[in-house]
Amino acid sequence: MNEIAERYRRRAAAFEDKIAAVRPEQWADPSPCARWTARDVVRHIVDMHDVMLRPLGLALSPAPSVDDDPLAAFRAARADVQAILDDPARAGQQCDTPAGRVTAERNIDQVISDDLPLHGWDLARATSQDDTIHPEDVERGWAAMGALPPGLLEKFRTPGAFAPGVEVFGPEVKVGADASPQDRLLAFIGRDPGWKA
Q: Report domain extents, the chain.
A: 1-115, 132-197
pLDDT of residue 197: 82
pLDDT of residue 93: 96
- Asked if residue 40 has pLDDT above 90, the reply is yes
How far apart (Å, rounded) are the C-alpha atoms in residues 105 and 78?
Answer: 14
Write the burial class of residue 151 (CB in 10 Å: 0-12 exposed, 13-18 middle, 19+ buried).
Answer: exposed
- Asked if residue 150 has pLDDT above 80, the reply is no
How far apart (Å, rounded) are the C-alpha atoms in residues 101 and 56?
Answer: 12
pLDDT of residue 151: 79
Assign 1 a pLDDT band (cuts: 50, 70, 90).
low
Q: CB neighbours of 54 closer than 8 A, spacing ≥ 6?
A: none
Q: 192, 131 in Cβ contact below 8 A?
A: no
CATH superfamily of 1-115: dinb family like domain (1.20.120.450)
Q: 103, 91 in Cβ contact below 8 A?
A: yes
Please tell me which residue, 34 or 4, carries the higher pLDDT value. Answer: 4
The alpha-helical segments, DSSP class H, found in the chain are 3-21, 38-53, 70-85, 88-91, 104-108, 114-126, 135-146, 150-156, 181-188
Q: 109, 97 in Cβ contact below 8 A?
A: no
Side chain identity, residue 89: A
| Greatest pairwise CA separation for the chain in angstroms | 48
pLDDT of residue 62: 97
Question: Which of 102, 105, 98 is closest to 156 using CA atoms?
Answer: 98
- Asked if residue 152 has pLDDT above 60, the reply is yes
